Amino acid sequence: MVFGCFKKKGKAGSKSLDELKRDIVIDDHEVPLETLLNRYSTSVTAGITESDAAQRLSRDGPNALTPPKQTPQWVKLCGSVFGGFNFLLWCASIASGIGYYMDVTTSEDDVPKDNLYMAVILATVVSVTGLFDFYQDRKSGSLMDSFANMIPPKTLVVRDGQTKEIEVKELVVGDLVRFRGGDRVPADLRVTLARGLKVDNSSLTGESDPQTRNTKFTSKNPLETKNLCLFSTSVLEGSGEGIVVLTGDRTVVGRIAALTTQVDSGPTPLAKEISHFIKIISVVAFTVGIAFFALALVYEYPIIKAIVFFMGIVVANVPEGIVPTVTVALTLTAVKMRKKFCLVKKLQAVETLGSTSTICSDKTGTLTQNRMTVTHLWFDGEIRDAEVLPPNDHFRGEKKYGQNESYQKLMRCATLCSRSHFRVPEYDVPLAKRVVNGDASEVAIMRYCEMIRGDGQVDEYRKQFPKLSEIPFNSTNKYQVSLHPMQNQNQNLLVMKGAPEKILKICSTYYQNGETKNVSKKFEKEFVKAYETLGSYGERVLGFCDLELNPNKYPLGFQFDTENVNFPIKNLRFLGLIAMIDPPRPGVPEAVRVCQNAGIRVVMVTGDHPITAKAIATQVHIIEEDEDVTQIIDHDPKYNTANDEIYGKGRLRKTSAIVVHGEQLATMSPKTLKTIVTNYQQIVFARTSPAQKLQIVEAFQEAGNVVGVTGDGVNDAPALRKADIGIAMGIAGTDVSKQAADMILLNDNFASIVTGVEEGRLIFDNLKKSIAYTLTSNIPEITPFMSYVLLGLPLPMSIVAILMIDLGTDLWPAISFAYEVPESDIMQRAPRNPKHDNLVNKRLVMFSYMQIGAIQACAGFTTYFVLMMSNGWFPKDLLGISEQWENKYIEDLEDSYGQQWSYEARKSLESSCYGTFFFTIVVTQWADLLASKTRKNSLVMQGLENQSLNGAMIFTVFLSTFVLNTPYVNTVLGVQAFRIEIAFLALPYALIIVFYDEWRKFCVRKWPSGYVYKETYY
């Protein structure tokens, strides 16, 4: 085996990803201390020499985390400006520029600047949206910076027998380090001396309770053994010394940092959809463009003109407004989610949550309150529900047991036998939020006692019975004792609490129903039954006992000695049990149920104990109550865990629910894990390591799931990074977890995820509607060019008019879909299947192009021909006339009545045609806007409460009127006003669109598997 001090310092990235995914394997905590000292040539009193330290520092490198290779900012900028759909728009912009250049170089006459305007405007739009995306990514910050902030700058080390302070980065393996409460552990250490030492490992292991550390080897798992302190964890109390066994990238946190920076979730589901959309539009645009290039050659157009036609068709097929529409829609949704306590760091993550099919949730602080709370009491032989402490309000409920003598004595013991206290009086603050000093269990009991006694009454009660002496809790005795005078009874009181089995052993009597009785076999059985029942709830249980001391032997004023105990600590009187748990957050069970109804599987992945995890999972509906649960917790020698296991055989019983211990997960084959995530619907993974959390996420992703992960600790960072969407906690979350995540829950409440899921599904639906609306106008925009090339008609609409639609009248309406309310079934349907339910699919393209788009094109040509006929040009006489129409040297072109038209008069009429066609598309797009509000619901059911969309319709009226009638503006844009009666011809087509789509949606609702559904439900 190779150990830390013999390994060459390499960059974090030099370790293979597969190696980092495996749990750390060392034996520095298992071997006898003498063996360890010999291995690292060190001493528990003098440490190593300065010369040894210099050699090891040179060989192993500094005790610091190696930053990964960073992508240059200019590369990220180019990706934002030129990547994705922007690339297609750049192609359209360049094509327009080339088209203008060809026109200029091949024509001696003045050339229309339509293509030039198109090129400049497209380049501007794409650049602005690309820069906005780059700005959003820049705000994400550096992940390694947050890891670096966890490392203390200096530490105390013993070298050559002398204690000195050095920078943490100068530590080497074998160094003897001294630390105390308030410090951060400067490396992975083997503890050689501990004085009441407790550390906070929550950021690395998920354990919310302070962890005792001493010199004893208690587990092969380096994360759980009591004789190791881990790099970057906090020392809560006590002091200690230890030998450095791992430094820098080789430490537990170093491996997590390297793993976090190397894994990547890949492109988001929305990015994949945009890429799919690009392929569809590209194929359509280039297919149609090439077809018309070929037709232009067949019709004997010059090659240069045929190329210009080709580029015009390509540009006309590209929906120029899509990029700003998608960007603004995602931004607006992100703002909405921010108001609902969901902070989105990456815009595309807005939609990802809506696509999520599995959520792997941490337990502590996400599903639960991260606050121990008294839940059950056992006295007078019965388990009783404790009064519930409201998390955000003052207690106003009934105090149920106040008159019971047994309860009064239990409360007296719980109030006095405690080292916890309120930091300052905060009676205006809800009790659950007041700051209490003490460990988690004592704080829970303190809050419960204060709730029962009233604000400030615990301190008043303690003043009546001041503490004379105390034996603090320790891991050897497993109890805490304090002594108090009872002035009114002229005697002293001993109170004790501790591990229930320990408390029972030192009690010879118990108090029940107002009487003190001798402990009997029957009572012991009742005790065991109650203790096991409370333990099965996943609750932490403490036993309480007391003894009213003999006033003759221990009178008031007696000097109690806790070093050489001179008072009884046996034959005490048992009072009862108090059980507590970190309870579920309010609203979480309902939120989990909503997720399940929406087809989302919620999986618990925690570092906590399997019993506690299963209990909480049952309370929040991750595991259904009374469900038969397969439990893979202990090693069973009957099974060879290295073999692939089959669902329904051996350990994998044919049930819906399963609980898997991390130690058993470590021995499973990848195929067995895939079998578990595929076949079980209710899953709890307990005692998991950071590498295992990542392994679990990958297993779900390989099974075809879109995976969301919630977490708050450093140990969650690799999984958060790998997940399709990582969700960190805003209050309790570490900086590392926030940097690794895509979204942050500002209130740390799982229930907020439901909001995110609904908003994610809504934005996907609304983007579909927006794209369907935008693509529809492509057909009436393309067909004028097709008629010009194929039929030789005077051009019905100009490129500038197309731009005015795509980036003018269509833009606000397309963006306004971001404000559309959800349809009624949004949280009842299953998550979309990314393989089949695409943002843009065949049905959407066919519906937009061949149905609604075709109706709009008919409307446009109707108004075009009516305008032409009203000016003397019948349709039959317009066929094949385009070459003569555009010849500026023909000043006497005759219409159907024989009237002669000059070139200037023809161009003036053409401008009116542009205006007519433009306004007709605007009118029919109003109808399309209303039709696109829903995919399934009737417009009547959905209503018109989207004020942004309503405003967009009014905006398009004013904008189109302004464009058509404002001098100079209409000249620059090449459009002119026309008679109002012609505009009314577009209204019947608008009504046809609305009524046709209402009929379509009726058929979709009435026959959900019928022909209309299959062909038109996009």
How many residues in total does the chain contain?
1018
What's the rounded Cα separation, in Å, for the pair 123 and 89? 8
Phi, psi dihedral angles at 111 (to 5 degrees):
-105, 135
- 362 annotated active-site: yes
What's the rounded Cα separation, in Å, for the pair 70 and 479? 53
Question: Which residue's entry shows tokens 């009441």?
Answer: 196
Angstrom CA distances, 90 to 152, 318, 840, stand at 49, 11, 21
313 Cβ contact partners less than 8 Å away, ≥ 6 residues apart: 285, 288, 289, 292, 782, 785, 786
110 Cβ contact partners less than 8 Å away, ≥ 6 residues apart: none
Locate 162 and state its tokens. Answer: 């002398």
Burial readout 1004-1018 (b: 16 or more C-beta within 10 A, e: otherwise): beeeeeeebbeebbb
1009 Cβ contact partners less than 8 Å away, ≥ 6 residues apart: none
Locate 131 and state its tokens. Answer: 């820069």
Please state whether beta strands 234-246 and 188-200 pair in parallel, antiparallel, or not at all (unpaired). antiparallel
| Mutual angle of helices 405-416 and 440-453, in 10-degree steps | 130
Q: Which of 708, 616, 718, 719 is nearest to 363 (CA)?
A: 616
Rounded to 5, what percent of the chain is helix, strand, coil? 50, 15, 35
What's the rounded Cα separation, in Å, for the pair 647 and 1014? 36
What's the rounded Cα separation, in Å, for the pair 982 and 970? 19
| Mutual angle of helices 751-776 and 322-339, in 10-degree steps | 160
Choosing from 60, 362, 380, 608, the catalytic residue is 362
How many C-beta atoms surround the C-beta of residue 520 within 10 A? 10
Extended strands (E) in 386-463: 421-422, 436-437
For 49, counting Cβ atoms within 10 Å of its Cβ (0-12 exposed, 13-18 middle, 19+ buried), the class is: middle
What's the rounded Cα separation, in Å, for the pair 897 and 452? 101
* Coil, strand or helix at 109: coil
Q: Which of 805, 1013, 847, 860 is nearest to 931 (CA)?
A: 847
Locate 393 and state its tokens. Answer: 């309000």
Q: Which of 739, 752, 683, 684 is nearest to 712 (CA)?
A: 739
37 Cβ contact partners less than 8 Å away, ≥ 6 residues apart: 43, 44, 243
What's the rounded Cα separation, in Å, for the pair 343 and 333? 11
| Catalytic machinery residues | 362
